[in-house]
Amino acid sequence: MGNMKLLTKLLRLKGAKITCFEFKNRDKELHVGIKPHKNGCRCQKCGRRCQIVRIVDKRSWTDVTILGLKIVFWYAPKEVHCPTHGSAQEEIPWAAPLSRVTYRLEYIICSLARIMTQKAAADILKMPTSTLSDILHRVITRVRVGHRIRGLVTLGVDEISYCKGRKFATIVYDLDRSCVLWVGKGKGRDTIDRFFNEELSEYQRLKITWASSDMSRAYTEAIKYHCPNAKLVIDRFHLVKALNEAVDEVRKEEWRNLDVEGRKAIKGLRWLLGMGPTSRSKEHTRFLNSLRKSNRRIHRAWVLKDEFDHFWSYSYLGSAEAFLKRWMTAALKSRIPSMRTFVGTLKAHYENIITFIERPLTNAVGEGINRVLKIVKNRASGFRNLENFTDIIFLTKGDLDIVAQIPAGLRSI
């Protein structure tokens, strides 16, 4: 077997042929002259064999590093003339047009970035993190260009914070397939309007029959406006969070009014009040019940909160509505301001809360997308810009499998 043939086999090159090779930089780099099989000259859009217009300058592509040896490809691409697509650079089987790295390096970068931080991936691949981020961004943009949302029936809208919690983005899910469809800067009406106007056709908007969002007016009104056929369900976890905050408000008020001794008695209560009835131990419940004597207001708020939990288990609309009305009356009677405010919230969103009984839809459906995103975010300890964050969202939870879209030809390594 000749050297060239051996090297072609070692590098697992399919659709390409090695013409020459040379070790450089104290044997740390292997520079390989390469050319497409059957002399190339194919249009990169339709694959048709075309006439050569001219030969462009020699270019290089960075390939993977094997056992510490960096592989670099060299080739002078031809400019060809396709009768349909006009003049363009010929198709190159090992890399995407305008890309400076090979498909298989792109594949490895994407696969690693899916499971670890970009810094860790960059360390393994021995390249600067910024270079890796750039490549990642270019690959994801290239793969997603022209991608359209399909078969959307159940929509979820939520806000997510990035950049150390100071900035917000709107994130749109397909709750049936539990994946992310779209990410946009901001959390206002203009952001969500942009999604409906730019990403969906009128037909697609009419096809949406269920939607879930938090209580933000921007989201609920946009869904009502753009998806007239959709039934809106207020996300359970946002509602529970609002109730927990109302209870905590009572605790804070009491805390402010108590002396040192009194404060000691309700220490650690914040965490306990936030717990659901199922996750509490008997001892916790006993302690909370003892508040009935020591702090009536907190006890009252807690009982109301605990009772509200029943709402989620109803399966008949009529009984759920009767329960909710009873609960609201009891909460109003408690004369606790924060509880009354919560009743106001319930009343304002009543028709979209009661729909939960018909379909228990929450944004946390499926694999808990938000949880995954939080892990991703923590792993990178906050993203500086949304672009960077969006890249990782699409890579890990997008509606399009980015890695699978990278051509298989030269991938095997």
What's the min distance (Å) between Cβ of 141 and Zn ion?
23
Q: In angstroms, give the least distance from the CB of 87 to Zn ion.
A: 10
Q: Residue 101's closest CA among 56, 133, 135?
A: 135
Nearer to Zn ion, 78 or 349 (CB): 78
CB nearer to Zn ion: give 77 or 156. 77
Contact 30, 69 (CB under 8 A): yes
Question: Can you give the length of the chain in residues?
Answer: 413
CB nearer to Zn ion: pick between 49 and 326: 49
Residue 276 Cα to chain centre, angstroms: 28
User: What φ, ψ does residue 328 adopt, rounded to 5°?
Assistant: -65, -40
Give the shortest CB-205-to-Zn ion separation in angstroms: 35
User: Which stretches does DSSP call E strand in 58-192?
Assistant: 59-66, 69-75, 78-82, 86-89, 154-162, 167-174, 179-185
Closer residue to Zn ion (CB): 46 or 265: 46
Instruction: Output DSSP code: residue 404.
Output: G
Q: Which of 226, 77, 233 is nearest to 154 (CA)?
A: 233
Contacting residues for 354 by C-beta, under 8 A, at least 6 apart: 317, 320, 321, 324
We find the least distance from the C-beta atom of residue 7 to Zn ion, in angstroms, to be 32
Q: How far is the CB of 364 from Zn ion (least distance, A)?
A: 47
DSSP β-ladder status, 69-75 and 59-66: antiparallel
Q: Of 36 and 398, which CB lies nearer to Zn ion in the complex structure? A: 36
Q: Which is nearer to Zn ion, 85 or 194 (CB)?
A: 85
Instruction: In angstroms, give the least distance from the CB of 90 to Zn ion.
Output: 10
Nearer to Zn ion, 45 or 374 (CB): 45
Least Cα distance to 61 among 33, 87, 89, 37 occurs for 33
User: Closer to Zn ion at the Cβ: 88 or 149?
Assistant: 88
> Residue 328 is inside which H or E element, if any?
helix 317-333
Contact 229, 206 (CB under 8 A): yes
C-beta of 80: minimal distance to Zn ion in Å? 9
221 in helix, strand or coil? helix
296-308 and 282-294 are packed helices; what angle lies between their axes, rounded to 10 degrees? 140
Q: Which residues bind Zn ion (CB under 5 A)?
A: 43, 45-46, 82, 84-85
CA distance 45 to 200: 27
Instruction: Write down the least CB distance from residue 53 to Zn ion, Å.
Output: 13
Question: What's the rounded Cα separation, in Å, for the pair 89 and 77?
Answer: 7
Shortest distance (Å) from residue 49 CB to Zn ion: 10
Return the closest-CA partner of residue 312 out of 340, 278, 282. 278
C-beta of 41: minimal distance to Zn ion in Å? 12
Q: Which of residues 78 and 251 has its CB atom nearest to Zn ion in the complex?
A: 78
Q: Which residue is nearest to Zn ion (CB)?
A: 43
Rounded to whole angstroms, the Cα distance separating 269 from 236 reads 23
Q: Which are the contacts of 359, defined by CB distance < 8 A and separation ≥ 6?
A: 210, 231, 233
Give the contacts of 389 (CB within 8 A, at least 6 positions apart). Answer: 162, 169, 183, 377, 383
**C-beta of 136: minimal distance to Zn ion in Å?**
29
> Residue 46 or 55: which CB sits closer to Zn ion?
46
Nearer to Zn ion, 43 or 392 (CB): 43
Report which of 410, 413, 402 is spatially closest to residue 137, judged by C-alpha positions. Answer: 402
